[in-house]
Amino acid sequence: MLAAELVFGMLAAAALASVIATVLAVESRDLLKAVVFSALQSVAYTLMYFLLMAPDIVLVYAAVAVGIYPLILILLIKKVGRYEG
């Protein structure tokens, strides 16, 4: 049963990390930093999907949430300016 507890423990840690990253992303006034925090949150989610035994979702989530989505947002930030306010 130790393995199951380890998995649940890692799930909890990843979930906690994702909450912290989300708060930082929402709070950040520097949009570029917000994108990086958002990607960090996605990394935590990717780990959670992997622990929940959904490797198919991991493959598409990692590519979209860490690759495509931050890069699109960076393209947009280039147009609207880096700082909120």
Partner 1 sequence: MLRSIAFAITLVVFIVLLAYATAVGALGPLPPPHLRRLAVCVLNTTYNPALLRLGFSADAPEGVTAVVWDYRGLDTVFETVVLYGAIIGTLALYRQVLKSEERRESHSSERAEALRGGLSTVVKVATAVIVIAIGAVGAATGLHGQLTPGGGFQAGSILAVIPVVLLVVFSRDFLIRSGVRYARMVLLRNVGLIGIGLTALGLAVVATLIGVRGFVLQNQPHDGSPIGYPKWVLDVPSGGSLLFFNVFEMLAVVAGFTIVFLVLSLREDAAREEIRGEERGC
Binding window for partner 1 (CB under 8 A); candidates: 29-37, 38-46, 54-62: 54-62
Q: Judged by CB, which is closer to partner 1: 6, or 19?
A: 19
Q: Please tell me the distance from the alpha carbon of residue 36 to that of residue 31, in angstroms, as a whole number.
A: 9
- CA-only gyration radius of the chain, Å: 15
Which residues contact residue 34 at a Cβ distance below 8 angstroms, ignoring those fewer than 6 apart? 24, 25, 26, 28
* Residue 7 touching partner 1 (CB under 8 A): no
Q: Judged by CB, which is closer to partner 1: 6, or 52?
A: 52
* Residue 23 touching partner 1 (CB under 8 A): yes
**Beta pairing partners, 30:** 83
DSSP 26-40: HH-SBHHHHHHHHHH
* Residue 81 touching partner 1 (CB under 8 A): no
Residues that bind partner 1 (CB under 8 A): 19, 22-23, 26-27, 55-56, 58-60, 63-64, 67-68, 71-72, 74-76, 79
